[in-house]
Amino acid sequence: MTTNSYHKPCPFCDSTFRESLANNASCFATLDNYPISPGHTLIIPLRHVGSYFDLSRIERDDLWDLVEQAKTKLDSQFSPDSYNIGMNDGPAAGQTIGHCHIHLIPRYVGDVSDPRGGLRWIMPDKADYWSDR
């Protein structure tokens, strides 16, 4: 098992972790072990790379291809109303596993009282930009 830049064994490099929802030549998609919502999926390169910006062009293309494939499967299985798509790239951005991955998070009407601002709530004092206008 690869040790990541956070000095812990990398769970994404552990082949027992890989119950694939979809896969291609350089990446795989799997349901998150700690889902935010039903169907929360991770899209992960097979090669241990910490940052999205260190991936090859092929790996980046394969990641986004799997985002689309996973969305199609999640639409069929969970029928979400919307999605959040994002990644935490580096410790200052909140990355806790030092292996690049994309979160595909199904969203459902009523799952939060006011979803406006979405990912902007990372910085709560900057999220509610519409109410000051």
pLDDT in tens, 57-104: 999 999 999 999 999 999 999 999 999 999 999 999 999 999 999 999
> pLDDT grade, residue 132 (50/70/90)?
low
What is the pTM assigned to this prediction?
A: 0.87
Could you tell me the CATH number of the domain that includes residue 100? Answer: 3.30.428.10
The kind and range of the H/E element at 125 are: helix 124-127
Residue 2 within a domain: no
> pLDDT grade, residue 14 (50/70/90)?
confident
Residue 104 within a domain: yes
Residue 35 within a domain: yes
Residue 132 within a domain: no
Contact call for residues 97 and 11 (beta carbons, < 8 A)? yes
Task: Identify each DSSP E strand in the chain by its residue range.
Answer: 22-23, 27-31, 41-45, 82-86, 102-107
> pLDDT grade, residue 1 (50/70/90)?
very low
Residue 1 within a domain: no
Residue 133 within a domain: no
H runs (alpha helix) in 30-105: 57-78
Residue 42 within a domain: yes
Phi, psi at 94, each rounded to 5° = 95, 5
Alpha carbon distance 48, 122 (integer Å): 26
Q: Which residues are catalytic?
A: 101
- Among 8-12, 91-95, 108-112, the minimum mean pLDDT is found in 8-12
3-class secondary structure, 53: helix
Instruction: Provide the number of structural domains found in the chain.
Output: 1
Q: Which amino acid does the sequence have at 8?
A: K
Mean pLDDT of the chain: 88
Structural domain including 50 reads: 11-127
